[in-house]
């Protein structure tokens, strides 16, 4: 699997956004930075994306589908690849119309795309529809002229109806601190064991034996596609009296699904915090 290495400047904005350069007066906007679709196996669905030219110049635009997935650190960063080269790609199932078009000054275009799902598809699949326009040429520090292009992307999340399983697991959960002068740490591995992407939002509570909540907080949001494992680390406030506590981690997986992990922790007079077996 090979990432892009083209000699152009990429402006990829996943919001209702604008791309501008002073040199080439390039500026377009799309209205759908993210599209979630549910389509049955063997079925098809169409949708439209609006593209606007915000300049007083004619712009040539090309629309095409490529692949993406979340980077391994799980913080929502996305990596992009040629179409059909990643696991769980649906880029080859997508057609766009028109695939190339001219946007007149301050013009507007509705671009339709259709996704046709194979009969044997199950779970989640992903693509990105890029809208790309040439900006002109620029010179590298070595004085070489290269083509400069800009593009916007609309992320496609596809779930095949009746086949989606949103499942996850937490492994190696530990809560620790060396002493009062060290930060307290939450560490665990989040594993997407289902067949669809998961964005997990986590909270924790620290409760004493009388049921009093001594501390609560959040862990970073976790972004995964199926099969991903993410190492999650977070600091927490540990101004706790010495004693034993229950540490309860809850991860909201979306779609009314969640997982909860509980660990017994001990706080020493020295400030050491350890996870009890």
Q: Are 18 and 54 contacting, i.e. CB atoms less than 8 angstroms apart?
A: yes
pLDDT, position 188: 97
Read off the tokens for 118: 């194979």
**168-276 carries CATH number 2.60.40.10:** yes
Q: Which residues, at least 6 apart from 249, have a Cβ–Cβ distance to it below 8 Å?
A: 170, 173, 186, 188, 202, 203, 204, 219, 260, 261, 262, 263
Cβ contact 193:167 at 8 Å: yes
Lookup: tokens for 66: 């490529």
What pLDDT, on a 0 to 100 scale, did the predictor assign at position 247?
96
Q: How many residues does the chain have?
A: 277
CA atoms within 13 A on the CB side of 38: 4
What pTM, to 2 d.p., does this model score? Answer: 0.83
Topology alike, domains 28-160 and 168-276? yes
- Helix H, strand E, coil C: the string for 27-45 is CEEECCCEEEEEECCCCEE
What pLDDT is stored for residue 144 in this prediction?
58
Which of 96, 126, 114 lies closest to 46, judged by CA?
Answer: 114
CA angle 269, 233, 186 (to 5 degrees): 30
Architecture of the domain spanning 28-160: Sandwich (2.60)
Task: Report in angstroms the alpha-carbon separations of 109 from 112, 133, 276.
Answer: 10, 14, 61
pLDDT at 150: 79
Q: What is the pLDDT of residue 13?
A: 34
Note the pLDDT of residue 49: 97
Question: What residue segments make up the domains of the chain, in order of their start?
Answer: 28-160, 168-276
- The list of the chain residues with pLDDT below 70 reads 1-26, 134-149
Determine the Cα–Cα distance for residues 25 and 22; give it in Å rounded to an integer: 5
For residue 146, the model assigns a pLDDT of 52
- pLDDT, one tens digit per residue, over 27-77 is 789 999 999 999 999 999 999 999 999 888 898 999 999 999 999 999 999
**Spatial distance between the Cα atoms of 50 and 28, rounded to a whole number of angstroms:** 10
């Amino acid at each position: 699997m090979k990432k892009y290495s083209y000699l152009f400047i990429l402006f990829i904005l996943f919001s209702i956004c604008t791309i501008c350069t002073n040199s080439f007066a390039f500026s377009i906007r799309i209205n759908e930075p993210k599209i979630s679709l549910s389509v049955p196996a063997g079925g098809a669905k169409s949708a439209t994306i609006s593209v606007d030219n915000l300049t007083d110049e004619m712009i040539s635009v090309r629309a095409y589908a490529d692949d993406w997935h979340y980077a391994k650190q799980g913080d929502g960063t996305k990596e992009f690849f040629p179409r059909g080269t990643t696991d769980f790609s649906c880029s080859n199932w997508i057609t766009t119309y028109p695939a190339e078009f001219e946007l007149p000054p301050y013009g507007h275009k509705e671009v339709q795309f259709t996704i046709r799902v194979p009969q044997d598809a199950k779970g989640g699949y992903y693509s990105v529809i890029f809208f790309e326009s040439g900006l002109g040429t620029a010179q590298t520090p070595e004085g070489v002229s290269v083509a400069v292009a800009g593009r916007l992307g609309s992320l496609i999340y596809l779930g095949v109806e009746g086949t989606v399983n949103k499942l996850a697991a937490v492994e190696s959960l530990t809560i620790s601190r060396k002493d009062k002068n060290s930060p307290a740490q939450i560490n665990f591995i989040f594993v997407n064991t289902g067949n669809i992407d998961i964005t997990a939002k986590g909270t924790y509570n620290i409760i004493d034996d009388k049921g009093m909540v001594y501390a609560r907080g959040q862990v970073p949001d976790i972004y995964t596609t199926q099969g991903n494992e993410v190492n999650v680390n977070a600091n927490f406030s540990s101004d706790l009296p010495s004693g034993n506590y229950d540490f309860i981690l809850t991860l909201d997986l979306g779609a009314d699904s969640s997982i909860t992990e509980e660990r017994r922790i001990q706080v020493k007079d020295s400030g050491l915090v350890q996870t009890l077996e």
